[in-house]
C-alpha cells in the first residue's frame, strides 16, 4: 500500500502533463491578426532599398575598424543554428563560400551550416546584432522580427566591432533582404 501511493501520484502527474501538452498543441499558435502585426521596431530596421557600397564579409573582416560604419552582404548561416533564440542576432557568411545546397547532388539536411566549407568559416563569418535607433539590442527573435530564414542574402549596415581574435560583429541598424 505504501508503494501504491507514490505510483498513483506519478501516474496522475504524468496524466496531467500529457493532457496539458495535448491541449496546448491543439490550440492555434497565433491568430491572423498577430501574424500580420509588425513590431514597431521592424519599420526602423528593415530597409526598403539596398544600401550602396556593401562589402563581402571576408573583405569587411580585413578592413573594418571598431565603431566604423560598415555595409556588408552575406548569407545567413555558418552553423546548424545561426540564430540566437529570442534575440535579433544571427550570423552571416561570405558569398564566396558555397552552402551545401549550392553543390549539385549534396543532400545535406542543413545546408546553411556550410559543412562543406568548415575550414573557411572562421575567416568568412560575421555576427549581426540588430539594434534599435538608440543602439540597444532588440530582444526579439530575428526570424520573427524580420521574417528571416537561413541562406537568405542580407545587406546590413551598422557599426563594426572587432574582438581580440579578429571576429567581426556588426551592430546593425538597417537590414535589407535580397530576393
Q: Whole-angstrom Cα distance, residue 119 to residue 166?
A: 16
Mapped onto helix, strand or coil, the DSSP state of residue 17 is helix
Q: Whole-angstrom Cα distance, residue 138 to residue 143?
A: 12
Domain count, the chain: 1
Cell representation of residue 28: 492555434
Are 75 and 152 spatial neighbours (Cβ–Cβ below 8 Å)? Answer: yes
Which H/E stretch holds residue 36? helix 32-36
Domain residue limits at 112: 55-177
- What digits encode the pLDDT tens for the residues 28-84? 333 333 333 344 456 689 999 999 999 999 999 999 999 999 999 999 999 999 999
User: At 160, which CATH number?
Assistant: 2.40.50.140
Q: Whole-angstrom Cα distance, residue 31 to residue 29?
A: 7
Q: pTM for the complete prediction?
A: 0.76
β-bridge mates for residue 58, sequence order? none
pLDDT exceeds cutoff 50 at 5: no
Determine, yes or no, domain membership for 47: no
- What digits encode the pLDDT tens for the residues 87-96? 999 999 999 9
Determine, yes or no, domain membership for 29: no
Q: What is the pLDDT of residue 9?
A: 37
Cell representation of residue 37: 502585426
- pLDDT (mean) for 5-27: 36
Q: What is the pLDDT of residue 179?
A: 78
- pLDDT (mean) for 133-147: 93
pLDDT exceeds cutoff 50 at 117: yes
pLDDT exceeds cutoff 90 at 107: no
Choose among 119, 118, 125, 121: nearest CA to 72: 125
Determine, yes or no, domain membership for 89: yes
pLDDT exceeds cutoff 90 at 27: no
Amino acid at each position: 500500500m505504501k508503494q501504491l501511493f507514490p505510483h498513483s501520484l506519478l501516474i496522475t502527474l504524468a496524466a496531467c502533463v500529457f493532457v496539458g501538452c495535448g491541449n496546448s498543441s491543439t490550440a492555434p499558435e497565433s491568430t491572423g491578426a498577430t501574424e500580420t502585426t509588425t513590431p514597431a521596431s521592424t519599420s526602423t530596421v528593415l530597409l526598403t532599398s539596398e544600401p550602396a557600397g556593401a562589402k563581402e564579409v571576408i573583405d569587411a573582416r580585413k578592413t573594418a575598424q571598431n565603431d566604423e560604419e560598415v555595409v556588408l552582404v552575406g548569407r545567413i548561416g555558418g552553423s546548424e543554428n545561426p540564430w540566437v533564440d529570442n534575440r535579433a542576432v544571427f550570423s552571416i557568411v561570405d558569398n564566396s563560400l558555397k552552402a551545401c545546397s549550392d553543390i549539385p547532388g549534396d543532400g545535406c539536411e542543413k545546408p546553411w551550416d556550410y559543412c562543406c566549407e568548415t575550414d573557411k568559416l572562421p575567416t568568412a563569418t560575421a555576427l549581426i546584432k540588430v539594434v534599435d535607433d538608440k543602439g540597444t539590442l532588440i530582444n526579439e527573435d530575428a526570424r520573427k522580427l524580420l521574417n528571416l530564414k537561413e541562406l537568405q542574402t542580407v545587406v546590413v549596415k551598422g557599426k563594426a566591432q572587432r574582438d581580440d581574435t579578429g571576429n567581426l560583429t556588426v551592430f546593425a541598424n538597417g537590414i535589407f533582404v535580397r530576393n
